[in-house]
Amino acid sequence: MITSISNPKIKNVTQLLTGARQRREQQLYVIEGVKMFQEAPASQIRQVFLTQEGYEKVRKIRPEIASLVTDGMMQNLRGPVCELVSDEVFGRMSDTKTPQGVLCVMSMPQWSVSSILEDADRLLILVLEGIQDPGNLGTMIRSAEAAGADFLLADMKTADLYSPKVIRSTMGAIFRVPVIYTDHLVRSLQRLKSYGVHLCAAHLKGRQSLFDADFEEKCAFLIGNEGNGLSDEVTRLAESLIKIPMEGAVESLNASVAASLLLYEWKRKVDISSRF
C-alpha cells in the first residue's frame, strides 16, 4: 500500500491532474469516481489507484480488474497496474471534494476523422471555436452523444478536453464521442465541405430561424466563443446563418444550451424526413 505522497506515481498523477502540458506529453489523463471507472474502456486504463473502501466497490462492479490487486500491487501484462493507497494519500491526489476511493490513469484515444467521414450517408458534427468554459464543453459532449452526433471538432483555443472539470461534466460521454482538435480550423472546415458537409453557424446576425431551417443530412453546426461568438473568418465559411428565436430581453443563450437546441432540431427534422 502506498502511504507517502512523495511516491513518484502519486506525484505523476497530481501533475496529470493539474498540468495540460504533462497530459499532452504523456498522452494520459485522470478520471475519478465509481461511475466513470465503471464506464471506462478497459483497453485505455493504464493505472488504477484504490483505497480499501474503493477496492470493495471495484470488486463488485469490475472484478476482473479488482483481481489484479494482490498485497497492494500486482502487475498483469494483460491489464493495468492496480495499487492500494492510504485514505490520506488518496485525499491529497484526488481532485474532488468527496473522493470515492477510485482513480484511474487513462490513455488518450486516437480518433481518425477520415474513417468517420468516408462512406457516411448522414453526418452530425459539432464545431467549436474558442469555447472556454469547461462545463460548457463537457455539456456539449454529453448533448452530442444524446443527439447521436458523430464527433466534435474544436480549435486549439477551446478548453482542454482532459481537464478534470471537463471530464466530470461529460458524465462518461468522453469515452464514446470523438473530440478532435485542429490547429487550423478553417482548413479543417474546408475539408468537411469537400465531403459534402453543410456548415451552419449559430449567429446573432442570422436571418433564418432555427425552426424554419431545412437541414442537410450531412451537417456541421458552428458554435463560437461564449463572449465573442464566431470569428469573421469562420463565419464566412458557413453556408447558413441560423438564429435561435428568443423572447423578452434575452440577447443570447448559453453556448451549450444553443448547441443542444441545434443538435436536437437537426435530429428531429432529419429523423422525420427519413421516414418518408
pLDDT in tens, 210-249: 998 889 999 999 999 998 899 999 999 999 999 988 888 8
Q: What is the pLDDT of residues 12-44, one digit of tens each?
A: 999 999 999 999 999 999 999 999 988 999 889
pLDDT of residue 65: 72
Quote the pTM value.
0.88
Interacting residues of 276 by C-beta distance below 8 A, sequence separation 6+: none
pLDDT of residue 70: 52
Burial of 128 (0-12, 13-18, 19+ CB in 10 A): buried
User: 8-107 is classed in which CATH architecture?
Assistant: 2-Layer Sandwich (3.30)
Q: What is the pLDDT of residues 121-179, one digit of tens each?
A: 899 999 999 999 999 999 999 999 999 999 999 999 999 999 999 999 999 999 999 99
For residue 4, the surrounding DSSP H or E stretch is none
> Which residue, among 12, 99, 5, 11, has the nearest Cα to 52 in the 3D structure?
99
Burial of 207 (0-12, 13-18, 19+ CB in 10 A): exposed
185 — pLDDT class (breaks 50, 70, 90): very high
pLDDT of residue 272: 64
pLDDT of residue 74: 41
Is the pLDDT at 195 greater than 50, yes or no?
A: yes
Contact 198, 189 (CB under 8 A): no
Whole-number Å distance between alpha carbons of 82 and 126: 36
pLDDT of residue 68: 66
Domain 113-273 superfamily per CATH: SPOUT methyltransferase, trefoil knot domain (3.40.1280.10)
Q: What is the pLDDT of residues 62-102, one digit of tens each?
A: 777 766 665 444 444 345 678 899 999 999 999 888 889 99
User: What's the mean pLDDT in 203-212?
Assistant: 85
**Between residues 206 and 19, which one has the greater pLDDT?**
19
Domain ranges, ordered by start, for the chain: 8-107, 113-273
